[in-house]
Amino acid sequence: MTKTILMKKGESLKDEKRTGVLYRNVLMVEKMEATVTHILPTCKTQGFSHKGKEIKFMVKGELEYHVGDEAFTLQEGDTLFHHSDDKHWAENKGTGEAIFITVSTPGTFSMFYGDDGKKK
């Protein structure tokens, strides 16, 4: 079991690029994961629904975060918790890049990559 991990600024385990969205997986241990998501203006993430729980920390900008039928406006410094089994996605309706950190359990980056680290 790993006890301490340091990821320096700009480092990541895996990056996944989608139109206007960059997911940077910065930590993956046991049953927890941290991902930094960058969203360009007018872009949004794909909607996901899966087992688990998530905490979002808004780092930069502003975006609309959807969980089920609810929409939340997140601004720099805000924190949001939600159950992952409700469909959720983020949409940047602002004029600048939006950045947020997701800490999830269990990890969700495996939606993009298998246990072998290869892209699905």
Q: For residue range 26-83, what is the model confidence (pLDDT) as tens digits?
A: 888 878 899 999 999 999 999 989 889 999 999 999 999 999 999 999 999 999 999 9
Whether residue 117 is contained in a domain is answered as no
User: What is residue 27's predicted lDDT score, i.e. its pLDDT?
Assistant: 84
Whether residue 64 is contained in a domain is answered as yes
Whether residue 6 is contained in a domain is answered as no
Whether residue 68 is contained in a domain is answered as yes
Whether residue 100 is contained in a domain is answered as yes
Q: What is the mean pLDDT of the chain?
A: 88
Q: Is 68 left (phi over 0), alpha (psi -120 to 50) or beta?
A: left
* CATH number of residue 60's parent domain: 2.60.120.10
Q: How many domains does the chain have?
A: 1
Residue 31's domain comprises 15-109
Whether residue 10 is contained in a domain is answered as no
Whether residue 3 is contained in a domain is answered as no
Highest mean pLDDT among 11-20, 82-91, 100-109: 82-91
pTM for this model (two decimals): 0.85
CA distance 98 to 100: 7
Whether residue 115 is contained in a domain is answered as no
Q: Is 117 left (phi over 0), alpha (psi -120 to 50) or beta?
A: left
